[in-house]
Amino acid sequence: MEASSRPSGQQIPPGVYALLLAMFASGFAVIGQITIIGKQVFDMTGSTLNLGLLGLAEFLPVAILSPITGSLADRFDRRKVFAGSLVGEIAVSLLLFLYVRSDPTSVLPIFGLVVLFGVFRASSAPASRALPIDLSPPALLERIVALRTFSFMGGAIAGPVVMGFVFVGGASLPYLVAAAGFCLAILLLALVPRSPIQQHRPTGARQVVRDAFDGLRFIRGNPIVFGAISLDLFAVLFGGVIVLLPAIAEERLGVGAVGLGWLRAAVGIGAASTALTLAIRPLRRHLGRRLLTMVALFGVMTILLGFTRNFAVAFVLLLIAAAADSVSMFVRAGLVPIATPAEMRGRVLAVENVFIGASNELGAVESGVTATLFGLVGAIVFGGVGTLVVVALWWRIFPALRSIDRFADVRPDAPPPDST
């Protein structure tokens, strides 16, 4: 669909703007809080392995629960599912505030609370990711996909920067700020209309499990969806060095909490500025090749990050890597829901969340383990090289993904793309 095909004067509905602001507030709280948790655990233990285990603690509940919560997102009001999860996240933030305020010496309760936080993230992800697609007028889908990324990444910019400054004033205070962000997101959800696609079917334990496997079967049987999701899983598994930023800031760059906050914010700045550009001028052609090329660029920037000891250079490398990742996110965020029948969207996005969202946590584990085995630089370079190997393999294994030209090519009723 070309730019000229969008009806002139068509506006994004006000409820969508409220949802986008709620996603900004949620991203602000989530990314800011995760950054500070990593900082505190590294300060308390000095262990890169513990940074990786933090990712594992958040991954496990997502991996176990996301298929089930996806079925719930298909059966109940997605606004209420999202809001209920935010209430749980507020509770975890307040518990972290109370524990850190007690001047703790053990990180085990922090790990436990991170597991609990992962439970609520598993519940919120399918509903929050499906809602913007549900509420999008078809002619504005590409724009709203980009704005969704921009909203969350805007929060990812502000969250670490604000939390870094707040942390200087008190180690426990960032968790109160995170709780306030989640509260704001709940208030904004009250302005969001009900999804017009919701279906109401009898819910039972067996049917929920059956629905979860339906999502898995659909993904496995669709080479474009499976290729796009698995590409992100393995690329981030090797290239996910964000969890190592506390160690990079301390050991390689010699900066403290404020510098760490800016490094983490560089990821959001690169991603959000790219997402805003895509919202104004969405990519419309050669989407498959651009997806693979951008993942390769992400891998190259990761390798260079491993060798630098200059804060400014590291900041720029993170900007470029995040911009490349934002382009690949834009393509995947359009491919998966467009290729999925509307009545299955919650389930498929939940499974995608296991592959994509949880891949960040698995990547954190991989980074922590390899940093322990090979050192910080070795872990980062290994991850970047692994990402490039994944791109080369996926280019050959998934020709249908590589050959996608437009989003319209992946509609369920569209003919398969030419893979020659």
Q: What is the CA radius of gyration of the chain?
A: 20
pLDDT, tens digit, for every residue of 39-72?
899 889 888 778 778 877 887 887 788 767 777 7
Q: Which residue has 């919120």 as its token pair?
A: 124
pLDDT score at 137: 80
Answer yes or no: are the C-beta atoms of 149 and 329 closer than 8 Å. Answer: yes
Please give the share of the chain, as a percent, with pLDDT higher than 70. 88
* Domains of the chain by residue range: 11-195+206-410
- Residue 399: alpha-carbon gap to chain centroid: 26
How many Å apart are CA 403 and CA 420, to the nearest integer? 8
* Average confidence score pLDDT of the chain: 83
pLDDT score at 223: 87
How many Å apart are CA 386 and CA 403, to the nearest integer? 23
With a cut of 70, say whether residue 311 has pLDDT above it. yes
With a cut of 80, say whether residue 411 has pLDDT above it. no
With a cut of 70, say whether residue 378 has pLDDT above it. yes
3-state secondary structure at position 204: coil
Into which CATH architecture does domain 11-195+206-410 fall?
Up-down Bundle (1.20)
Answer yes or no: are the C-beta atoms of 402 and 292 closer than 8 Å. Answer: yes
Answer yes or no: are the C-beta atoms of 172 and 288 closer than 8 Å. Answer: no
pLDDT, tens digit, for every residue of 224-267?
888 988 887 777 666 667 778 888 888 888 887 778 888 878 88
pLDDT score at 1: 36
With a cut of 90, say whether residue 14 has pLDDT above it. no
Q: Give the least confident one: 95-104, 334-343, 359-368.
A: 359-368
Better-predicted residue by pLDDT, 369 or 366: 369
What is the mean pLDDT of the segment spanning 343-357?
Answer: 73
With a cut of 60, say whether residue 124 has pLDDT above it. yes
Which of 69-73, 282-286, 313-317 shows the highest mean pLDDT?
313-317
pLDDT score at 113: 95
Confidence of residue 419 (pLDDT cuts 50, 70, 90): very low
Spell out a b/e string for 135-158, using b for 16 or more CB atoms within 10 Å of the CB, else e: bbeeebbbbbbbbbbbbbbbbbbb
pLDDT, tens digit, for every residue of 168-216?
889 999 999 999 999 999 999 999 988 776 555 555 556 666 776 777 7
Answer yes or no: are the C-beta atoms of 365 and 55 closer than 8 Å. Answer: yes
Q: How many residues does the chain have?
A: 420
Q: Give the least confident one: 5-19, 118-132, 289-303, 392-406.
A: 5-19
What is the mean pLDDT of the segment spanning 407-416?
Answer: 67
What is the mean pLDDT of the segment spanning 145-164?
Answer: 83
Helix/strand/coil percentages in the chain, nearest 5: 80, 0, 20
Residue in 334, 291, 321, 339 with CA at minimum distance from that of residue 384: 321
pLDDT score at 2: 39
pLDDT score at 85: 94
